[in-house]
Structure formats: C-alpha cells, structure tokens
Structure 1
Amino acid sequence: MAAATTTQLRAEAEGRELVAPCQLNVRWLGASPELADPKCQPAQLYGSLEELVPWYRRLPGRRLVVLGPAGSGKSSLATLLALGLLDDAALNDPLPLVLPLGAWNPRVDLRTWMTQRLRDDYPALRNIELYGSYAADLLIEQRRVLPILDAFDEVPANLRISALQGIDRAMPPATPVVLTSRRRAYTSTVAKTGPLRNAHVVELEPVGEETLAEVLRGSSSRFGASRWEPLLMQLRHDPNGPLAAALGSPLMVWLTRTKYADVATNPTELLDPNRFPDRATIEEFLLDELVPTLFPAEDNEYLPLTSDHWPPEQAKVWLEFLAARMQQRELPWWELRRLVHRYWLTVLNAVSLGLLTALSVGMMVALVNKLTVLDVASWTGASAGCLVSVGTLINATSKGRNASASMRFGAARSMLVVSLVAGTAVGLVFGAMFGADPGLISGLSVAIATALRFSLGSPVELSRPPSPEATMARDRALVGLVCLVFGVGVGSAAALLFGAGRTGMVWLGFSSGALLGFVLAVMSRNWWWFTVARAWLALRGRVPYRLLEFLEDAHKLGVLRQVGARYQFRHARIQDHLAKDSAHKT
C-alpha cells in the first residue's frame, strides 16, 4: 500500500506542479494561541514548506492543524506532507493518507468512514483469503494509518461542531493526525467547542514577492520571461494593491501561469485599472479564463498531451454540469448514477435487464426442450424478464448498499456454499427433465463455473496505485468473467447432453449461459449502473460518452485532481465558479 500510495501522490504532485521547478515554497508560522491547545505551542513555530516534514517528525504527538484562506495551498501542503513522510518512512511508520473531509458525514463515526474509504480505494483489501475479513478495519484500529484530514471547512457549517468532536473522539490525544481548514471555519468552531486536543496550529502565509517572481519567470523560456517584468514592478511598487492581494494565493498564481503560458499572451493586461479595479475582479477573470485556456479551439503546444481534442464549448458545459451536480466535492465513478433522476435510472435499468433476462431464459428453455416448443420458451423468457424487471424496480426503491462492501463470511466457505447451492439447483432441474446423469453433469458444470468466478474475482495486488480507471476496469472485468464462466458451464453441459457435434446446441448453451451470467453479475456491480447513467447523460448532452477519458484529460490539464480512486476539482473555488455559471445558464 505504501508503494502504491507513493506512486499516486508523486504523480499527483508532479501533475499539479507542486514540486520543483514550479514549486511555490509557501511559508507557515504559528497561529493565534487561542486556536491551539495551550500546552502544545513550542517556542519556535515557523518555517518553509521544505522544512515542514522534518519539523513534523519532531513534533510531540504529531498532531497538527494547518490553517489558511481559500487558495492558500492547504491541500497542496497535505499532498506534499504525505509524500514527504512516505519518502522517508521507517518500517513501522503509519501510512499517511489524504482524506477529504467534505466527503464525510459527521453523523458517521470517523473510523468507520475511513475504513470504507480504504476498501473503496484499495479493493485488494477485500480479498479475504489473503488479508482476512477485517483487513481495512485493523489498519484503522491498530493506528497503521496517519489520517491527513483535508478541508474541514467543506463540512457543512451546521455539522462542524459535531465533526470536530468526532475527530477528537476517533483520534485520542496520543494519536497522530493532521487537519487542514480555512481559518474562519476552524476559528468559529473552536470558539464553541475548544481546539483539537494536543494539536499544534500553524497558518500559511501569502506568497512572497521573491517567490512569486521566481515562479513566474521560471514558467516561461528566457525569451518570454521579460513579459512578467511590468507585473513584478507593479507588485514591488504597490505591495498592498489588488494585484498583490490576488497573487498572494497559490491558486491564483497557478491560474495566472496557466492563462499566460503561451509566450504570445500578454500578462500586463492585468495592470489595467479600468478592467481590474479590485482583487475580486482579477480573480473572477482568471477563473473565467481557465477552461477556455485549457480546452482551446486549436491545439496548443504549451498544454499537456490529452487523449482527444475536446470541443471547448462542450467541455465547459460538461464541467459546469459536473461542478453543479457533484455531491460532497468529489465524483466517484460508481456514484455517477446519483446525477440521474432516480425514476429514469430505475426504469432504464429494469427494462434493459428484463429484456436480457427474457432472452437468456427463453434460449435456455428452448435448449432444454431441443427447440421443439419455442412458444413455451418465448412465454417463459418473457415471464422471467418481467419478474427481473419488477425485482429491479423493487430493489431500486429500497435503500441500496455499497456493492463493494466487504463480506464477513469466510471466502472459502462462501465459495463452497454458493457453488453447492447453484450446482444443486441446476442439477435438480436438469435431472427432472433428462434423468440423473444429465442432471449430475449440468450441476457439476455450474458448480465449477461458480467456484471459478469466486476464485478469480478478488484482486490481490496492493502495490498498484488506486485510480478510477483501475477500479472500473476491475469491475468490468468481473462482469466479463461471470459471463465467461456461466457460458462455459452451460455450453459444456449442452455438449455433454446433446453431443459435441451439435455445435448449434453448444453455442446456444454458451450464449444463454453468458447472457444469464451477465444479468446476474451486473445486478451487484457498479460498472453497469455507471454505464446506464453515462449513456442517459450523454444522450442529453450533459457529459461525453467517453466520460472517464474526458475526466482523465481534465486531470492531466489540472482542472481536476485525483484522491484515491476519485476525482475532485483542483480547488473548491474552481468548482464553485463553474457551478455558478451553470446556475446562471439554467
């Protein structure tokens, strides 16, 4: 897990230009004494970003709160702190994980939520044969994870008191923890509950003039670096002006570098007092220009290579829709269905699965009746399809559960019981129709196919970095695997019953088994729900059909960031700005 997390964090830090040569070396200093536990304030509490990791290692208790205004670099600091701790980790050091608090409901115990995040982001932990039934739970309970809780301010305001109290309960005073927050949100909460126990508190400073000059000049070739000089002169001349206030934020520095990366652009337009009379106007302009800059009408050599050239107008519409509809500041691909009205999603799913069930059952009835009673096959298939449709509707209207929830029954026993039940059921049906021998053959085939599905269905690698693409590929592969094993099982039974020379019957058996396996598999896999929701949203122009490719390209370009197997907007201000534009259009 440490290797996988390190790989992902390093790729994220490099993609977001958080490391040299583009790194902004933001400084930090001790916050107001009333925000910290009085016994935890050391005499010296200031330094640079480069000094944070060694300083944190020396910190008694390793409990830290990092404060700063919007866009000050708190999430970037969380990423770099986790990466720095991993790069220099001792054998028994806990695994630092960045966890976005905006996705946490404080009504749920923090440790329970952290455990579920581990299961979702590291599916191999659900491999009970290799890691046991409670691998993720034990990692949390035995303090093998160092939680870096990012963005306390994204917890709803009416739940922040409960949230801070919940963190204190879940993380006793001797347990290492890191918390980041906007200053105002943390200050108002601490005034009512008291500070996080035994935690030191630091605050990020605005970007300094020298650091800003170094980064802006370094963002261009030596032929284009001179473009920044009028801007830098204005900053020196008026260090308290609107431009200096705007560019004191690392987020705005990145937006400025992105907007004026092309040497043909002219950053001195920001000096026009008529267009940009105050800080808010400058920031709104830079936010407005982000998507048109990163998704240009023509190829731009200054941008990272992407999988496709996305239409700029459509890209903006898609991002605005996602920004407005995303829940809890992140978009796990397996929750895309939440963006579709429940009624339409349920109907689409029920109709499609009902039709597939009707086809597969009808084919199987035709198979066992040797194609002599097609009317019976048709009626039986239609009835089965209707039953599945009704069952799907009932299931969708009840409270669902996470399909990836960990099983508590031993893997070997689960495989044995399910295989025996499935094999016995099929064997009894075929035995009643064709006699004891065909029933035994059919039952064994299905039992073996089911056991094979269990044995091959669990991931084993914890060293692979978590990503949306990897988790979806695994989910999709499991559906294909179930289709294959059921197809082979029923096809083999058909070959044994009717003879291998009856290729038509064998192929009919394989096809009907594969279809039935598909229906059974997708009922419990998130990939199917994602596929249905994506198709519906794409038909309505809300998202592209190749949604994951688009999200990965937006991630490469810097609009999104990746946290575990989920995508988030790079910053809450970017998401809020796009969501506001979407609301205005609506």
Structure 2
Amino acid sequence: MRFRVAWQRAQIPGTPSRVPHDHYVKRVPKQVGLLYVVLVGAFLAWYTRGHKVEPLVTVVSAFTALLALPAAVVAVLRPGKTGLAPTHLGDVADQLAQGVRQQWEAEARLRRLNDPFPLPVAWEAADADLVESWTQLKELAEDWPGQSPEADSAWAVNPGGLAGKGGELAEVFERVPTRRLVVLGEPGAGKTVLLIRLLLGLLEHRPPGGPVPVLFPLASWDPARQDLYTWMADELAQDHPALRALIPANPPQAGTCTQARALLAHRLVLPILDGLDELPERLRARALHAINQALPARQPLVLSSRTTEYRNALTTPAGVTVLLNGAAGIRLLSLDPAKAAAYLERDAGGPGTKATARWRRVTASLGTTAAVSQALSTPLGLFLARTIYNPRPDEHLSDLPDLSDPDELLDQTRFPTRQDIDTHLFTAFIPAAYRPHPDQPTPWSAQQAQRTLAFLARHLEHSIHGTPNLAWWQLPALCPDRHLRQGSLSAHGRTTSQSPGLAASRAPVRA
C-alpha cells in the first residue's frame, strides 16, 4: 500500500514550500494580518508556559499549522474572490506548472533518485493484446482535425520504437501518435519513479500556457461514487487550494466553476494516473471504462499498473474486453545485473573501500537464478538493500560493528526463495532507517517507530478506506494523548529524513 503525507506544502496553502505566496494569494487585509499575529503570539505564549520545547519537531509542526491561517481567513471573509492574480487560464497553468515542478524536484531529492545516480530502468513495448494496434493509433491521430502533415515524422514506425531506458520516457511519449501511454511493470519495478522522471521531463519542454503534467495516485479514487473529472478537480484543489477559486464557466450560462475544473475542461492538465492496480479488483474494469469516457482518445494521458492486474482488468464481469482507448504501452524490464552491482558498490563508497568489498559475493550472484538475484532485480529491492547494509554518507564502517553483512542474503537455509528475502528486507528496513547516529540523535527507537507506522497504516486501511492520503495536521486527531502526538510526529520526521520510501510530501510512495 502506498503512503503519502502532506508536510512541506502546508507552509503555503496550495503550493510547494518555496513558491512565493503572492503567486497564489492576493495581499491579506491588514485586519487579518493583525489577527494572525495575535493568534500566533497567543499560541507561543500558551505553549512555552505549559510545555517543554522538546522535541523541536512538535513545536515546529504545531507552529507551521498556523501558517495556513491567513489564506483560510481570507477565503472566509472574501467569498467569491479568485485568490489568484491571473485571470487567464494559461497564466494559471503556468503557475501550476511552477508549483508541480518544485514539488517533484523536492520529492526526487527526498527519494535520493539521483544518489548515487539514477537507476537506468529499461523498457520494451507492451504485449500487443494489452494495447491498441499501431495501425489503429496512427489512423486515429491522422484523422484528428488540425493535425499537421509533418506531425507523423516524430512518430515511431512501430511499437518497437517505444523501447528505451532511463530518462528517455518523455521523448518516447512523443513518439506515440495519440500521446496516450500505459506503463506496466512488476511490483517494485520502478513505475512511479519513472513517472516522476517523465513528469519532470515533460515540464522541461512545456511551452508557456501549455498543458501541465500532474501525477494523480489512483488509490484514492472510487469510480463507483465519483466521476474522474470531479475526483481530479478535488485532488488539484487539495494540493493547490488556490485552484478552488471560482471563475465564470464556459459557456457563461453554466454559471461558475473552480479554476481546477476549468484547467481540466480546457485540457490544460495532462493526467498521469498512477496505480490502477491500487484500486479494488472489482473496480478496475469500471475505472478503465470511466477513464475512456472522461478522457477521450484525443486527450493525452499516462496510466500505470502492475502487468497481471492490468491484464485481468481488461475483461469486465460481463466478459467484454475494455482497452484504454487510443493507447500504446510499454513494459518495464528487470535491472541489468552489471548496473545493479555498480549501483550497490557506488552507494557503499566506490571501488577500494571495505564497505564495497562486502558486496563482492552478492554482486557475483546477480544475473543468476539465485533468490538474492531475483530480489535485487528491481529498484525497490536495491533501495531496501542499500539502506540496510550500506553506511550512510556521513558514517564509517569501522564505527558500525553491528551493521549486517550482505552475505547473509546468500544463506539458502534462511532465505530459500525470493519471497523470503523480500520479507527480510521489509522487516529490516525500519531498524536500519532508525539506526543510531552520533551526529543526529533521536529519542525514538525503531520499535517505537514500528508501532507508530503500523498504527498509521491501520488507520489508512480501515478508517479512511485504504486511501494513501494523510495530512500531518490530521495526526493530533488520531492521537488524543499529547505524548502520543509527539511520538507520531517525531517518528514520521525521523523516517522521512532517512528514507525516500517514506518521503515527506504529499506524493505517492510506490516503486
């Protein structure tokens, strides 16, 4: 299950942490500013009189919650105002693009996607029975009104032209005549990380006023209760509250609509729909049908899923086959053994170091049928392994006598199958992330973190219907006891600082 937490962007409603506030919210009236100052002062006075100013993260978290107050008060006192300076939707899209770019660049840093270097995930064309025929895609695109005669010069000649690796996906996307793509892969194959790189690549070449690629994790969508457009508009407004502002609808007789809805209606959002397999099995075919209805073949989009789950979703309970209309597809491949070995060794410190030498026997087994080779054939497996067995960048192997040796993964008595190794890696991850550090001490143990994270996972699964969305300011309501609140906030802060797998932003955590 994916787990995403709203953290950084709470500092400025509707934007990442470093986007200037006046990009989104008009100047706050003096009365509201005065009220804000009084409330913040009252809070600080109350807190410092009756509470210890430790742990610091608790105080900062509580204080940061108040930073959302001015915009909220303005929204109440000034109903009907746009909350955005620009009125042209192209300008709104440009500001959204800036926010999305900063959001995902920060996410890439938190996930250490480029440390020590980006994993070169490769892919090939998806099986023909999972996508439209290439002839059909070309005929469909050529028949669109306004299609330029030279447009097909950038198209791939056949599905084989979609093969690629690493940062090439944005270029590959443009080779699809309809610009509609299904990204398939096994668990942990790196689908979401690849989508992040795609999103950043598309933003790099986006023209002013053009469509903005936005990643939507599908796990929070219930296609039985909510149409796709309404859900996407709600997701946009949740991540960027200024887009809740009302503007005249088109046609005017329709009254008003939110800026989020207007961006979608004018195709100024390029949806990247992540994780069809995260929906309940009974809803996947229905979701595909809803996507086809809401986003017709001329609307570019990207959809990701695990391969088997996607194949099963193509057949409805009535026995009817439902493809994603007008879409090509790619399938992610296992990591190249030599590149996986280089990644582990480089993360350990590079050639000639003792930490790197510890990987010699494991890397020699990569590319074989051994269980460890299978477990380390995906980006997720490599990430877990390096977290557990490698010193952190500011640690020394000589100072870590209890650091586990990766050779244990070769023990066929303990780990006869890949599943056994996968289970071990997941079990060992939290203790590794909370390994004591002399320069960054934490009062919370791995056991406390494990209990806290298990509590949050149960809450997500059972209390809010399996959604991966959890805002940090909701945590106090989950923990009535003040000490429990401190523990949950601190445990979250510690884990997010250690691992990209629990990154501190409202972003999907899914390989």
TM over 0.5: yes
Residue 251 of structure 1 aligns with which residue? 380
Residue 174 of structure 1 aligns with which residue? 298
Alpha carbons of structure 1 residues 328 and 146: separation in structure 2 relative to 1, 3 Å:
farther
Answer yes or no: is the 8 Å Cα contact 2:167–2:197 preserved in 1.
no
- Aligned length in residues: 366
Deviation (angstroms), 1:259: 0.3
SS at match of 2:297: coil
Does residue 1:12 correspond to 2:12, yes or no? no
For 1:273 and 1:322, locate their aligned partners in 2 and report how far apart those are by CA, in whole Å. 34
Residue 485 of structure 2 aligns with which residue? 544
Answer yes or no: is the 8 Å Cα contact 1:209–1:235 preserved in 2.
yes
SS at match of 1:90: coil
Residue 123 of structure 1 aligns with which residue? 241
Residue 206 of structure 1 aligns with which residue? 334
**Deviant stretches of 4+, over 6 Å:** 129-132
- State the one-letter code of the partner of 2:239: D
Does residue 1:221 correspond to 2:349, yes or no? yes
Answer yes or no: is the 8 Å Cα contact 1:30–1:201 preserved in 2.
yes
- State the one-letter code of the partner of 1:268: D
SS at match of 1:202: strand
**Deviation by residue 1:275-320 (Cα, 9 ceiling, x = unmatched):** 1111111111100001111113x2266xxx68x5422211110001
Does residue 1:288 correspond to 2:399, yes or no? no
**Deviation by residue 1:156-195 (Cα, 9 ceiling, x = unmatched):** 0011111000011111001001000001111011134321
- State the one-letter code of the partner of 1:10: E
**What is the Cα-based RMSD across aligned positions, in Å?**
2.5
| Uncovered stretches (5+) of structure 2, i.e. residues with no partner | 1-95, 138-157, 250-255, 392-396
For 1:531 and 1:318, locate their aligned partners in 2 and report how far apart those are by CA, in whole Å. 11
Does residue 1:50 correspond to 2:50, yes or no? no
Residue 261 of structure 2 aligns with which residue? 137
Within 5 Å, give how 1:240-279 maps onto structure 2: 240-262=369-391, 263=397, 264=400, 265=403, 266-279=405-418
- State the one-letter code of the partner of 1:566: R
Higher relative contact order (CA 8 A, sep 6+): 2
Alpha carbons of structure 1 residues 549 and 213: separation in structure 2 relative to 1, 3 Å:
same
Residue 150 of structure 1 aligns with which residue? 274
Alpha carbons of structure 1 residues 559 and 70: separation in structure 2 relative to 1, 3 Å:
same
**Deviation by residue 1:505-559 (Cα, 9 ceiling, x = unmatched):** xxxxxxxxxxxxxxxxxxxxxxxxx4762442x46x8x53364454343223226
SS at match of 1:149: strand
**Deviation by residue 1:56-88 (Cα, 9 ceiling, x = unmatched):** 123212100001111111111111111111122
| Uncovered stretches (5+) of structure 1, i.e. residues with no partner | 334-467, 473-529, 573-586
Answer yes or no: is the 8 Å Cα contact 1:330–1:567 preserved in 2.
no
| TM-score normalized with structure 2 length | 0.67
Alpha carbons of structure 1 residues 55 and 273: separation in structure 2 relative to 1, 3 Å:
same
Residue 571 of structure 1 aligns with which residue? 510
Alpha carbons of structure 1 residues 316 and 117: separation in structure 2 relative to 1, 3 Å:
same
For 1:77 and 1:100, locate their aligned partners in 2 and report how far apart those are by CA, in whole Å. 14
Within 5 Å, give how 1:58-73 maps onto structure 2: 58-73=175-190
For 1:142 and 1:196, locate their aligned partners in 2 and report how far apart those are by CA, in whole Å. 21
For 1:254 and 1:300, locate their aligned partners in 2 and report how far apart those are by CA, in whole Å. 23
**Deviation by residue 1:334-389 (Cα, 9 ceiling, x = unmatched):** xxxxxxxxxxxxxxxxxxxxxxxxxxxxxxxxxxxxxxxxxxxxxxxxxxxxxxxx
Alpha carbons of structure 1 residues 531 and 50: separation in structure 2 relative to 1, 3 Å:
closer
For 2:286 and 2:228, locate their aligned partners in 1 and report how far apart those are by CA, in whole Å. 11
Deviation (angstroms), 1:562: 5.5
Residue 447 of structure 2 aligns with which residue? 313
Answer yes or no: is the 8 Å Cα contact 1:65–1:200 preserved in 2.
yes
The correspondence for 2:477, drawn from 525, 533, 542, is 533
The correspondence for 2:232, drawn from 89, 114, 119, is 114
Alpha carbons of structure 1 residues 567 and 293: separation in structure 2 relative to 1, 3 Å:
same
**Deviation by residue 1:79-98 (Cα, 9 ceiling, x = unmatched):** 11111111222224311111
For 1:30 and 1:73, locate their aligned partners in 2 and report how far apart those are by CA, in whole Å. 16
Alpha carbons of structure 1 residues 100 and 197: separation in structure 2 relative to 1, 3 Å:
same
Answer yes or no: is the 8 Å Cα contact 2:247–2:259 preserved in 1.
no
Answer yes or no: is the 8 Å Cα contact 2:341–2:366 preserved in 1.
no
What percent of counterpart residues are identical?
32
SS at match of 2:458: helix
For 1:156 and 1:240, locate their aligned partners in 2 and report how far apart those are by CA, in whole Å. 33
**Deviation by residue 1:121-159 (Cα, 9 ceiling, x = unmatched):** 101223459998521110111111111100100110011
| TM-score normalized with structure 1 length | 0.59
SS at match of 2:323: coil
For 2:490 and 2:213, locate their aligned partners in 1 and report how far apart those are by CA, in whole Å. 29
Deviation (angstroms), 1:45: 2.5
For 1:54 and 1:20, locate their aligned partners in 2 and report how far apart those are by CA, in whole Å. 23
SS at match of 2:359: helix
Does residue 1:163 correspond to 2:291, yes or no? no
Answer yes or no: is the 8 Å Cα contact 1:544–1:550 preserved in 2.
no
Answer yes or no: is the 8 Å Cα contact 1:36–1:201 preserved in 2.
yes
Alpha carbons of structure 1 residues 180 and 58: separation in structure 2 relative to 1, 3 Å:
same
Residue 130 of structure 2 aligns with which residue? 35
- State the one-letter code of the partner of 2:323: P
Residue 93 of structure 2 aligns with which residue? none
For 1:259 and 1:215, locate their aligned partners in 2 and report how far apart those are by CA, in whole Å. 15
Residue 555 of structure 1 aligns with which residue? 496
For 1:274 and 1:179, locate their aligned partners in 2 and report how far apart those are by CA, in whole Å. 40
Q: Radius of gyration: which is bigger?
A: 1
The correspondence for 2:211, drawn from 80, 85, 94, is 94
For 1:141 and 1:173, locate their aligned partners in 2 and report how far apart those are by CA, in whole Å. 15
SS at match of 2:214: strand
For 1:548 and 1:143, locate their aligned partners in 2 and report how far apart those are by CA, in whole Å. 39
For 1:145 and 1:71, locate their aligned partners in 2 and report how far apart those are by CA, in whole Å. 27
